[in-house]
Structure 1
Amino acid sequence: METLRNRNEIDEKYKWRLEDIYENEELWEEDYKSTKQLLEEIAGFKGKINTAENLLKVLKLNDQIGMKIEKIFAYARMRRDEDNTNPRYQALTDRAMQLSIEASSATSFIAPEILSIDEGKLRAMIEKLEELKVYRQYLDNLLRYKSHVLSPEEERILAETQTMAQSISNIYTMLNNADLRFPSIKDEQGNEVELTHGNFISFMQSGNRDVRRSAFNAMYDTYKKYINTFAATMAGNVKKDVFYASIRKYNSSLEASLFDDNVDVSVYDNLIDTVHKRLEALHRYVGIKKRLLGLDEMHMYDLYVPLIQEYDRRFTYEEAVDLVLEGLKPLGDEYISLLKEGFSSRWIDVYENRGKTSGAYSWGAYGVHPYVLLNFQGNLNDVFTIAHEMGHALHTYYSNSVQPYVYADYRIILAEVASTCNEAILIDYLLKNTSDEKEKLYLLNHFLEEFRTTVFRQVMFAEFEKIIHEMAERGEALTAEALSKKYYELNKLYYGDEIVVDEGISYEWARIPHFYRNFYVYKYATGFSAAIAISQMIMNEGEAAVERYKEFLKSGSSDYPLNILKKAGVDLTVPKPIDDALDVFEKLLDEFEK
């Protein structure tokens, strides 16, 4: 029997080198102590941000604190991620978290005080000192909020309501993850297995239709039993969004949510409208899937099953790295040499070990190269994961090497662009360089599923969110029946007549935790579409497109997200990028059908 290795049994060359952040823990302790002193120092400026000199001192101190906290927290948390059972790093992470909360509290006076300065006076302060001009975008962005910020006393009361408001999401999380129990079903071998959130999708991908049907019914029959409670948490969550939007004088909860990224509501509506016009392509995909699976009737539980079950190519980590380097050559020599540096300089923690955090991510701290956590198993998905996470890592690397700390971090709406762009370029290379029919079909199926789940499905989620928030804004009740009816109708609309839309799917909304991060999911679809558009430009135009793309990667948050995307040649204020991405989907569909 193969057992999971302990951390110390893994070769050093496959482990990340966190000593690049802190050579030893004494240095971590020194930074921890000095950050405490900086928090005392910045508190001394409370009520004194009334001169250009003091404003500059506060902003520079705030950056200094942010940089130290980032290093302190990243180091502790990544050490814990190596082995979550290690009590030493559990404690270190707790201390880092506590310090982070203290810092948020100690610096919370800055924004309200700056906003209390007359705008004309603030602009004069910026002009007075050359060093303050660096902060112009930061201060301009802060000023956008002026009409939505209340009096200090009202702000204090609103801040106090946050923990109460958060309880809705906490109740949902506890109900969904801790209390909800699903029945057992029979797996492919006829063994009784308890259904869980974790194994549901693998059951839905099973080649055995009875297993898929059982998993689907067991999952949604369970949600149906508690659907009134789930409707109560969902209604509470939506009402919370509506309350905060109205109290802060926004026209709608959608506008309030998009305001942070300076994105107009029309961008959200555009996305939904454009996808509606192209739903025929999704209906066609469902029809092809039905034919290839040899089904008289396609059901919702047949959607996830891969069409190429028996394809299973294996890779060593070194082979996977070589494949990624070869596939991403269109991104140019500089990009490839940075990738090689990451692979050879131990930015990456490669293999699974006992206690290690599951999944994959890219992370780091300003002033140090980025890091990537993997749990490499050697299948083709893992090859894509390397390309994906290194896309994030190089986005961070470029941004950190060009931008001052205040603008180094890029917004979530841009985060998936670089990672998905890498995947799209890699899949293009693999499709052009395989003569194996099964591999080609597997790759096409993989990419078509990415489109289905990241564009069509997330846009359906985004539309559902918009509908239920508008219902609440009109004063309509969000009952279990109303929510399930709307969700069922959307599934009928999106998936079309080639599929039987089973009653169970009407309860799926209760299973989606993203609905508790209001109007978040649309960013997956816009990010994916932008990435497809950029990857097409890179492959068609070559160097000119690569240079534009690198300007995007270097921009951090030095401008508003949509302006930064325009540098790469993508304008999300018009339907074209979404349409272009869906053109690629149809092209892949043609090839798949052929």
Structure 2
Amino acid sequence: MNKTKTLPKRSEVPNEWKWKLEDIYATDAAWEQDVAKIKEMTEQIKAKQGTLAESGKNLLDTLLLQDEITKILDRVYVYARMRRDEENSNSTYQALTDRASSLATQVSSAMSYIQPEILAIPSEQLEKLQQSEEGLEHYRLLLEEITRFKPHTLSASEEAIMAQVSELASAPGKIFGMLNNADIKFPMITNEKGEEVELTKGRYTQFMESKDRRVRKEAFEALYATYGKHRNTIAATLASVVKRDVFYARTRKYESALKASLFADNIDQSVYDNLIETVREHLPLMHRYVSLRKKLFGVDELHMYDLYVPMVQEVEMEIPYEQAVSTIKEALKPLGDDYGKVLEEGFTSGWIDVYENEGKTSGAYSWGAYTTHPYVLMNYQDNVNNMFTLAHEMGHALHSYYSNKNQPYTYADYRIFVAEVASTLNEALLMHHMLEKTTDKGERLYLINYYLEQFRGTLFRQTMFAEYEKLIHANSEKEVPLTADSLSEWYRELNVAYHGDEMIVDEQIDLEWARIPHFYNNFYVYKYATGFSAATALSKQILEEGQPAVERYLAFLKSGGSDYPLNLLKKAGVDMTSPQPIRDALAVFKDLLDELEELAGAK
């Protein structure tokens, strides 16, 4: 795609670089038909309230109808939201997304009686109902899971109120999303060639990798100056979302918002705490990396805007999208022919929206509905980071593909705790492939530096985010106000601790919390770090053991949500109840750091 100094409009992007949302709905009119169908089915499921304990057939019919409604609702919501993500300023799809969100709230409210009603059935009677109706065997795991939530489930009327409140509770995230993706405008900056270029979130990473320190500094200061103008508004949205988490936890009788979040995945808090403690113990490695970066740069002061530019500055690795695709396909060959075939389908059949356009949602994600193939949103820039992002998102996409093909709808949706494993494993195999292939010392230095950056960005940085989330929720639970000043002060303290004495922690970075969308999805980011650790172990097994490890891994991808995350990972070959996988991943970081120091003559 031709590079431009300003972003193209959506209509100017060639179709070959766009995803095919027509595979979900050929027209908006078809979407409307499913909306009408959901409303009709919602009335049907409302009529079943109060009948679940009467017979196994009543219980089965209700659960089957619930699955059918939510399956279609997923499709309706995904289509509307992804259409809006193409161009956030498009009022048509803003409206469809709002309608889909409201419909989801109505459906949730209509079905909110199901769980309390099942929980009200005595255990012996519930077992008799299951034995009386053969089709209920399919729902045994689901019913066991509902029973596990009994201490945290409210009465039917209270659950109905909670369902109605959910749309209000999503407001802070929506407000932040619209501000961050549609309303915020960044200034022009001067690039390396002396040209005035529009700063965007998509281009920010590219500027941070610029060899020209002036460009990095200018982009860094311009980005945070823009967020600084909205610091109080964004602080209010973040404080509101934290209060929402605390409200839900207290209302449902959890000890804390953190424990409430972990309960859904059946994860003990020790797993979360082990991550923070183990990474904290290894912070001297991070400080050593910062020191090496400063030494190789030959600067008196290392700033936060110096963190992303490759330390081996003489190596230029520009990677166009087509080259990234071919490299990823080659790198993932150890996963077998079937995986490769599905990967090829994803690259050639309209799964991916490739390039940035005006109003498009920033960043990257993989998403989709059970009844269609997965999709990947990219804002591709021609660099190593974006190639790895593409491999990462295709890992998510193929995980969804295999889960949906091999699990019934009830158990197809895998938990977020395991979601980052497939994506990060792809990155690990891609890095292994590139390090094996290169014979150039400079390129090897560059790649090792990049891999170290993956560790810094995923294991260290996401753990710092996780510690920050724990801190701000704990303060909110103690009724400590979350203001722009306090949020910035706490964020600064963590940056100082994680980066060490050799780093100048610029005052602008104190505001980084204001641009992190993951903070609106509570206690999500730690899963990047645990997933990275698990993926490091599994990729090592695949490369060393071959087919047996591949078979275990593909079985993991196909398992969806058919068991709890920790159990699924144990079957695949990794025990995340132990800090050992994190220690093992950090040992790889140390070995890479040793090699980089030696190759660069910095020892």
| Same structural fold, with TM-score higher than 0.5 when normalized by the shorter chain | yes
Taking structure 1 as the reference length, the TM-score comes to 0.87
Q: 1:19 to 1:240 in 2, by over 3 A?
A: closer
Cα gap change, 1:89 to 1:166, in 2 (>3 Å): closer
Structure 2 counterpart of 1:110, which letter? I
Paired residues, what number? 593
Instruction: Give the CA deviation at 1:504.
Output: 4.0
Give 1:581's aligned residue: 585
Q: 1:432 to 1:137 in 2, by over 3 A?
A: same
Q: Is the 8 A contact 2:245 2:522 kept in 1?
A: yes
Structure 1 residue aligned with 2:428:
424
1:49 alignment partner in structure 2: 52
1:243 to 223, 240, 247: 247
Please tell me whether residue 524 in structure 1 is matched to residue 524 in structure 2: no
Q: Deviations over 1:127-180 (max 9, x none)?
A: 332211111121111112211122334444444554555555566667777887
SS in 2 for 1:269: helix
**CA distance in structure 2 between the partners assigned to 1:24 and 1:180 by the alignment:** 31
Please say if 1:533 is aligned against 2:537.
yes
Which of the residues 35, 38, 42 maps onto 1:39? 42
Q: Runs of 5+ in structure 2 lacking a partner? A: none
User: Could you tell me which residue of structure 2 aligns to residue 569 of structure 1?
Assistant: 573
| In structure 1, distance between residues paired with 2:93 and 2:241 | 34
Residue 542 of structure 2 contacts residue 549 of structure 2 at CA under 8 Å; is this kept in 1?
A: yes
Show the counterpart of 1:134: 138
1:498 maps to what in 2?
502
Distance 1:223 1:538 in 2: 43
Structure 1: runs of 5+ lacking an equivalent: none
Partner of 2:66: helix, strand, or coil? helix
Note if 1:148 corresponds to 2:152.
Answer: yes
2:257 counterpart residue number: 253
In the alignment, the residues of structure 1 paired with residue 171 and residue 470 of structure 2 have an alpha-carbon distance, to the nearest angstrom, of 22
Tell me if the contact between 1:7 and 1:82 (Cα under 8 Å) persists in the aligned partners: no
Distance 1:39 1:152, change over 3 A: closer
Partner Cα distance (2:90, 2:182) in 1: 24
Q: CA deviation at 1:59?
A: 0.8
SS in 2 for 1:46: coil
Structure-2-length-normalised TM-score = 0.86
Aligned pairs (5 A) from 1:95-174 = 99-159=103-163, 161-162=165-166, 165-169=169-173
Asked if structure 2 preserves the Cα contact closer than 8 Å seen for 1:185 and 1:215, the reply is yes
1:305 deviates by 2.4
1:546 aligned onto 2:553: no
Residue 454 (structure 2) pairs with residue 454 (structure 1): no
* 1:531-562 Cα distance to aligned partner (Å, 9 max, x none): 12211111122111111111210111111122
Match of 1:209 among 200, 210, 213: 213
| Structure 1 equivalent of residue 63 of structure 2 | 59
Alignment of 1:410-421 (within 5 A): 410-421=414-425
**Aligned pair partner of 2:306 in 302, 305, 309:** 302
- 8 Å CA contact 2:116, 2:155 repeated in 1: no
Decide which moves more: 121-130 or 85-94: 85-94
CA distance in 1, matches of 2:498, 2:280: 8
Give yes or no for contact 2:304–2:505 (8 Å, CA) kept in 1. Answer: yes
Greater shift, 373-382 or 39-48, is seen at 373-382
What's 2:393 paired with? Answer: 389
Whole-angstrom distance in 1 between the partners of 2:456 and 2:69: 43
Correspondence 1:182-581 to 2 at 5 A = 187-188=191-192, 200-217=204-221, 234-309=238-313, 311-314=315-318, 319-349=323-353, 359-374=363-378, 379-478=383-482, 482-581=486-585
Q: Shift of the alpha carbon at 1:381?
A: 4.0
Q: Is the partner of 1:548 in helix, strand or coil?
A: helix
In terms of mean alpha carbon deviation, does 266-275 or 91-100 score higher?
91-100
- Find the aligned partners of 1:430 and 1:304 in 2 and give their Cα distance: 20
* Structure 1 pair 57–230 and aligned structure 2 pair: CA distance change class (3 A): closer
1:283 deviates by 0.9
Looking at structure 2, the residues matched to 117 and 64 of structure 1 have their Cα atoms a distance apart, in angstroms, of: 24
- CA–CA distance in structure 2, aligned partners of residues 224 and 375 of structure 1: 24
Conserved? CA contact 1:267–1:574, under 8 Å: yes
